[in-house]
Amino acid sequence: MKIFIDSADPQKIGRLAASGLVDGVTTNPTLMLKAGLRQKDAITRICRMIRGPVSVEGVGETAEQMVKDGQEFASWAKNVVVKIPMGQEGLKAVRALNRKGIKTNVTLVFSVNQALLAAKAGATFVSPFVGRLDDIGENGMKLVEEIMQVYRNYGFRTQVIVASVRSEAHVAQAAKAGAHIATVPPEILEKMFLHPLTEKGIAKFKEDWDAAKKGQK
């Protein structure tokens, strides 16, 4: 499973990308506001650090505006993916961008039917939001499992990006479900490196090593 970072902060992305474990990045207008950077400046910086897909989202409401924005975004770097909101206008834009050879990521997906339509429209990626479903008492990871089943049934090439990840458990569950990608906030990815027994074991090894060195004196 590939791991993307869900952030528009070039500093955080660069620090985590140094691990060699980051396969791509997803951004949205809200993340851009939090980063406090102009969208083009942030994306071009991120695309210089990350070779994999970097999703960029506009605020257009019509298919025509989404296509116009998408063409502009795609001109910034070769690895830009245009993030499009689910809906009739969005999927019209996906089809148009697909014909132009521009990759797309259909976002804000909350049902199997939406994921099915996005794949039929030719989306490169589809992003089910598991955390937001959990927030309203539904099972977000169950949706991921169902989407994966439908895509396998029909041989769709659309890849599933598990989004709205709220915990390390979500990442593990996404991997168990066979999702292609999980897009993870920086703070969650940092926690994935950790386990109390790992830190305890390292401390014990150091303690034993120091004791052995003292005994040799």
Torsion of CA 181, 185, 188, 193, to 10 degrees: 70
Say if CB 52 and CB 2 are below 8 A apart. yes
Q: Catalytic annotation on 83?
A: yes
3-class DSSP assignment, residue 112: helix
The partner residues of 24 in beta bridges, in order of sequence, read 4
Catalytic residue, candidates 83, 92, 213, 217 = 83
Say if CB 50 and CB 22 are below 8 A apart. yes
Q: How far apart are CA 129 and CA 107, in angstroms?
A: 8
3-class DSSP assignment, residue 58: coil
Q: How many residues in total does the chain contain? A: 217
Query: Which residue is listed with tokens 């386990």?
Result: 195
Torsion of CA 84, 76, 162, 156, to 10 degrees: 70
By C-alpha distance, which of 27, 73, 37, 39 is closest to 185?
A: 27
CA distances from 200 to 29, 34, 149, 190, 207 (A): 41, 36, 40, 18, 10
Residues tagged active-site: 83
